[in-house]
Structure formats: structure tokens, C-alpha cells
Amino acid sequence: MERKVKTPCVGVCSTVFGDHVCRGCKRFHHEVIEWNGYTDIQKETVWNRLESLKVLIMKSKISIEDTTLLQSKLDSLKISYYDKVDPYCWVFDLIKQASQSINDLNEFGLKPLFDSNLELVDLKQIIEDELFTLSDAHYQRYFALEENYRA
């Protein structure tokens, strides 16, 4: 299955306000600006970075016990996912899109690794914040330093 979504953009761009990392899609400002001129390989590189960070975050929060059940439930709820990526990206998308309507993660073949008192809407905010923090750290490490050298 080809990516249904051609850009990570979620329509909430903070780079227009001067952020180096978009608070919506977590791409770097230059990636947002240059996206339409990127080759497929450049776009895939950005997707891969974002997906690897999502996997890192989700593996510390949730264990996938049954991938087939997860995929079946995503299909039945019409929650889009890209079947070529790590299933932990699917879990990220599930929490992001359906945190208010999920009562039991076990019904999705998932086992929570977090405090049972934590609401999924709160987990959604935590994973969004962590993704932003990791994206910003990556930007600071690999791009801000480069910009400082050029200045």
C-alpha cells in the first residue's frame, strides 16, 4: 500500500511564527518550506526520521501483543495507517486519532506500560510533547549547529 498521505503536514504549522520545528507535523522549518521540491528519497528520509522517533516513544508506553488484531481494529474503525512502517507507528496514530473514544487498549491487542490511572487523552499529549522534544533535539544537534557555523 502506498502512503495515503503525501505530506506529514497536519495543518497546524508553527514555522510561520518562527519555530525551527513545526509543533504540528514535527518537521524542520526548511523541510516544510522545501517539501514540494524534495525528491521522493528526501521525503522518505524525513518520514523515516519521524517514524523512528514515534517507534521509540511508543515502545516505552505500550506493548503490541497482537499485530493482526491491531490491524483489524484499525481497519474496522477506518483509522488510516501505512502498512509498510513499524506497527508502533500505527499505535501512535491510533492514540492521536482516537484517544477520546478508546476504553480498553487490550481490545486492540495492546498492553499499556503506563500507569493505569493515565487517561489516553493525557497520553496523547505526552507523546505529542515527546515527539516535539525529540525532533527539536535532533534539529539542535544536526542543523542549528550547522547554521551557527555559517553565521
Torsion of CA 64, 67, 69, 71, to 10 degrees: 120
Cα 37 versus chain centre, distance = 22
pLDDT of 147 reads 61
Instruction: Report how far residue 34's alpha carbon sits from residue 1's, in angstroms, rounded to the nearest whole number.
Output: 26
86-102 residue pLDDT tens? 999 999 999 999 999 99
Its pTM stands at: 0.91
pLDDT of 80 reads 85
Residue given cell 511564527 in the structure block: 17
DSSP state of 11: S
Q: What is the mean pLDDT of each run of 10 residues along the chain (151 residues)?
A: 78 92 96 95 96 98 98 94 95 95 96 94 97 96 72 52
Instruction: Report how far residue 71's alpha carbon sits from residue 78's, in angstroms, rounded to the nearest whole number.
Output: 10
Element (H, E) at 40: helix 40-59
24-43 residue pLDDT tens? 999 999 999 999 999 999 99
Distances (CA, A) of 125 to 36, 103, 122, 128, 131: 29, 17, 5, 5, 10
3: its cell numbers: 502512503
pLDDT of 149 reads 57
